Amino acid sequence: MIEIISGSSYSELKTTTNSFNIDSPFLDINFFEALEKSKSVGVNTGWISFPIIAKRNKEIVGFMPIFLKEHSYGEYVFDYSWADAFHRNNLNYYPKMISAIPFTPLSGSRVIAKNNEIKKLMIKSIEKILTDHKISSCHILFPNEKDHALFEEMGWLSRKGVQFKWHNNGYETFDQFLATLSHNKRKKIKQERKKIELDKIIIERKQGQDIKNKDIDFFYECYCETYRLHHSMPYLNKLFFYELVKSMPEKLLLILAIKDDIKIASAFNIIGKETLYGRYWGALEFCSGLHFELCYYQGQEFCIQNKIKYFEGGAQGEHKLARGFKPFKTFSNHFIAQPEFRDAISIFLNDESNRINEYRSELERRAPYKKTT
């Protein structure tokens, strides 16, 4: 018999996740523990750990990364208008439930289990929690296509989005990749990289145990500068990054830019089995083209040199298109407890889906690659 329970900390899953053959570093329990230990999630953050856990004879046979949310920040799937509609009708939208990797708009599994039967039991348990505790809704953010289809099958609303991914088509060198681009795009990238060379900027990559706390101190200064320039506060604190260096160093890649023997910028990446994920960046000095060098070209070169299939550079950014990234679909699923709001949101999502499809088609027409006949 399968028992479904809700936990209060991801440390409860510490010894079990290896048995699920999880390929995403963001589903590594060390990642969740870093969030909890650093208090980047928890009391006073609006993110309360609430993992759904399936057990058979005390053995964990499935789990879902769930959080209770008091706001919609750090999600990258925007539902502020939905919350406003609830409040205008004197209904509480918060707290809500979400399945997501906090502050991380990357696709992956959101229902981890031995089989579909266990997955469906966990999904049904969420629907029951919403009803029993009068919670407005649950939102599954950035599920992979397989999980997305399962939620659709179970009647959850579907939402689509677009992000950008670079495909390493077995390139031996960066120049071989450039050769696949149109003349103008290839020329532009060469000019940007030449500018870095002329400015005598040295690029240094650090991995694993070579990343020291002093490197994180510098990176975090850069990270905070990015938020300052956008007049906002960073979601993650320095302790979170210290914890990652301590618990999963083999999955980290830090890229540094050095000018006149002084570090001026950095980019923080996380390495998966098939994908490099560009996550955070910042610079203490402006240099033309430096953002593209650290956030895109260095990542692409690293993938080529290490035979990594894909490189995801984070949410949004049509400028990625000109640098060889291709648009791909992202998904979310939503269970709205109140039928009248569910119907209205369903109509909205159908209209939005048509616009997303048109947008993606437009992006594909603007692909930077050479036209083939």
Span 220-259, pLDDT tens digits: 999 999 999 999 999 999 999 999 999 999 999 999 999 9
Residue 92 lies in a domain: yes
CB 12 within 8 A of CB 26: no
Beta-carbon count within 10 A of 232 CB? 10
Confidence class of residue 19 from pLDDT cuts 50, 70 and 90?
Answer: low
The verdict on 157 and 228 lying in the same domain is no
Q: How far, in Å, CA of 212 to CA of 207, rounded?
A: 10
Q: What is the pLDDT of residue 33?
A: 96
Residue 244 lies in a domain: yes
Residue 209 lies in a domain: yes
The verdict on 158 and 194 lying in the same domain is no
The verdict on 30 and 84 lying in the same domain is yes
At position 136, the amino acid (one-letter code) is S
Beta bridge partners of 167: 310
Residues near 86 by beta carbon (within 8 Å), at least 6 away in sequence:
92, 93, 136, 341
Token couple for 152: 């659709």
The verdict on 177 and 147 lying in the same domain is no
The verdict on 193 and 302 lying in the same domain is yes
Q: How far, in Å, CA of 17 to CA of 108, rounded?
A: 15
Q: Which helix (H) or strand (E) holds 16?
A: none
CATH of the domain at 137: 3.40.630.30
The verdict on 288 and 333 lying in the same domain is no
- In this structure, what DSSP letter does residue 118 have? H
Of 289, 300, 324, give the one whose Cα is nearest residue 197: 289
The verdict on 126 and 178 lying in the same domain is no
Q: What is the pLDDT of residue 20?
A: 77
Give residue-wise pLDDT tens across range 31-88: 999 999 999 999 899 999 999 999 999 899 999 999 999 999 999 999 999 999 999 9
Residue 340 lies in a domain: yes
The verdict on 144 and 126 lying in the same domain is yes
Give residue-wise pLDDT tens across range 155-209: 999 999 999 999 999 999 999 999 999 999 999 999 999 999 999 999 999 999 9
If one counts the domains in the chain, the total is: 2
The verdict on 151 and 206 lying in the same domain is no
The verdict on 54 and 96 lying in the same domain is yes
The verdict on 144 and 219 lying in the same domain is no
Residue 323 lies in a domain: no
The verdict on 99 and 126 lying in the same domain is yes
Q: What is the pLDDT of residue 257?
A: 98
Alpha carbon dihedral 291, 176, 162, 113, in 10-degree steps, equals -110
Of 223, 359, 204, give the one whose Cα is nearest residue 284: 223
- The b/e string for 95-119 (b: 16+ C-beta within 10 A; e otherwise) is bbbbbbbbbbbbbbbbbbbeeeebb
On the question of pLDDT at 17 being above 60, the answer is no
User: How far lies 205's CA from each of 100, 210, 211, in Å?
Assistant: 29, 9, 9
Residue 265 lies in a domain: yes
Beta-carbon count within 10 A of 26 CB? 21
At position 272, the amino acid (one-letter code) is G
Q: How far, in Å, CA of 356 to CA of 349, rounded?
A: 10
Q: CA triplet 138, 143, 147: central angle to 5 degrees?
A: 95
Q: What is the pTM of this model?
A: 0.95
Pairwise pLDDT comparison (20 vs 218), residue with the higher score: 218
Class of residue 184 by CB neighbours under 10 A (exposed 0-12, middle 13-18, buried 19+) = exposed
Residue 41 lies in a domain: yes
Confidence class of residue 114 from pLDDT cuts 50, 70 and 90?
Answer: confident
**Three-state DSSP state, 193:** helix
Residue 154 lies in a domain: yes
Token couple for 89: 């009708």
The CA-to-CA distance between both ends of the chain, in Å, stands at 58
Domain span at residue 194 reads 169-308
